[in-house]
Amino acid sequence: MAVQAEENKKCCIFCNIVSGLSPSHKIYEDELSLCILDINPFSRGHCLVIPKRHVPWWHELTDAENASLFRVAKAVAKKMMLALEPDFVCMYARGRRIPHTHIFLVPTYKGDVLDRFFNALELFQESPPELLTLREDAMMAETADLIRKA
């Protein structure tokens, strides 16, 4: 397992950016996190906030790294609001395709691709019958209990 983690780190584009081996457009950083422009933006200003240490999943970060990641995300989102004047800045955590935690910060405007996506997702969330059972009080209680006990 440790060998696989080391191999992932060696070929990780984000680790290469942190170490200076790969170019990036740095926006902001602190001692534990770095914010860069995404090379495949959803909108102008789309950024990625990454921990400087290679960690696949955000919930595996140390408390200090997690605090740093969200502190940097907040600072950059405020800058985006001033510089780009979006309706809001969408934030979500990833790490699936590139197994190095990253938070997407996407300036979003009414009617743009991300706004349409989330509107469609909200409609989807309300419609499939299999999701209706998840809203039932008994299922909600069971799920809450299951998570609390873990």
Catalytically active residues are 102
φ, ψ dihedrals at 106, nearest 5°? -125, 115
136/90 Cα distance (integer angstroms) = 29
Q: Could you say which DSSP state residue 44 is in? A: T
Distance CA 112, CA 119 (A): 11
Task: Compute the distance between CA of residue 150 and CA of residue 139 in angstroms, rounded to an integer.
Answer: 17
**Helical residues (DSSP H) of the chain, grouped into ranges:** 2-10, 13-19, 63-84, 113-126, 129-135, 137-149
